[in-house]
Copies of this chain bind each other. A is one copy, B any other.
């Protein structure tokens, strides 16, 4: 049977992250690997009450098939909320409910990509997007990315050179994996470039509301007059991920195309989970929840940054994110994070080697650390072990190098 598989199966492989998560799942490990929100912040009690009432009062609707576009009151709440927070001007018809933002990525690949089409992306970029889009055989054009976002000269040159760029994929706020946030200036410039070349921007925005320092950064979708920005939003980080409720926001002509693909992908997202999310938004203040989440995550980010400053040897640098769940570490070139991971797992610490986040040009000496899922003392302990292991590899390398040097005929 294996000979009958599609050509794409030669390229696709299981997510490194999910494989690492499986290893760490049932062991007492300090895991910086996942992107898991803090479960102690989930509103389990409120949802228990809401779920019971919902099933008693509207169970025959909540357990039945429902429209592919999504539960109408939820689409309306999402549009309103986005307009309030991000100053977009979206109507309910501009929203499609998806089964996690991951589905938004999959449908986006399906909507735009023929084999050999080009995608512009940040370098590094989100692994889940790389996996989804790779199913459609694209060419990746990694745009050099600094602390303010993609370098615009490189974007412009790529758009001039390549006729078959189907979209520009970005995570402008608190990026996964780097923790970086685009400046407002860069966002405006990208929207201008996209308008000039008539190229869609995919604005993946799962972390935008998890801003700890300063103002929540604006969205490109609010700067766009041409309907070229398609944004992906999710409740996974602001509410909870287990219900898999997320959305695509775009002009309705494009949403109607997405709906066709949604029908073929899973008909519709869980009616019950959509209605439960809607009931929660109806009866609770998500702003209050977000304030709690931001406070907890800020403390954990601070704990991790402090520990890294203390424990990392010279030659190791890292980002200091203003929000989100991740930071990014760059180590001296002789350190391969995949080998480091093997050693760290033995010492009870996990992370994701950075190489997996580059669609083509891997940087093996990088890693992504998550700080949202562990209490501060565990973060400190984990970073301590991580630092010790890096130091140990560095000193081994130095020793080997000096042995090599002293072995040279003089």
Contact = CB atoms under 8 A, between A and B. Distances in A.
Interface of A: 1-9, 12-15, 18, 21-22, 25, 34-37, 39-40, 42, 44-45, 47-49, 51-56, 59-68, 98-100, 102-103, 105-106, 110-114, 117, 128, 131-132, 134-136, 166-167, 198-200, 227-228, 236, 240-244, 253-254, 256-257, 259-261, 263-273
Contact of A242 (B62, B106, B112): B62
A6 B51 contact: no
B42 A264 contact: no
Contacts of A14: 256, 259-260, 263
Nearest to A236: B65
B106 A265 contact: yes
6 closest A-B pairs by CB? A44-B59, A39-B60, A242-B271, A48-B55, A63-B240, A63-B242
Contact of A272 (B2, B5, B55, B243): B243
26 contacts: A1-B228, A6-B111, A6-B117, A8-B114, A9-B257, A12-B260, A14-B260, A36-B64, A39-B63, A42-B63, A44-B56, A47-B63, A48-B51, A48-B56, A48-B59, A65-B241, A66-B242, A100-B267, A102-B266, A106-B265, A106-B266, A128-B267, A134-B264, A243-B270, A244-B266, A244-B267
Contacts of A134: 264
Contact of A112 (B4, B13, B34, B131): B4
Contacts of A49: 52
A60 B48 contact: no
Nearest to A245: B270
A25, A34, A62, A266 — most chain B CB neighbours (10 Å): A266
A64 B36 CA distance: 7
B44 A63 contact: yes
B227 A266 contact: no
Contacts of A273: 270, 272-273
Contact of A51 (B12, B55, B61, B259): B55
Contacts of A55: 44-45, 47-48, 51
A266 B1 contact: no
Given A47-B55, A111-B9, A266-B102, A60 B42 contact: yes
A56, A103, A265 — most chain B CB neighbours (10 Å): A265
Given A5-B112, A65-B241, 19 more contacts: A2-B253, A4-B112, A5-B257, A6-B114, A9-B111, A35-B65, A36-B64, A45-B55, A61-B242, A63-B242, A64-B240, A64-B242, A65-B242, A98-B266, A110-B135, A135-B264, A242-B270, A244-B271, A272-B273
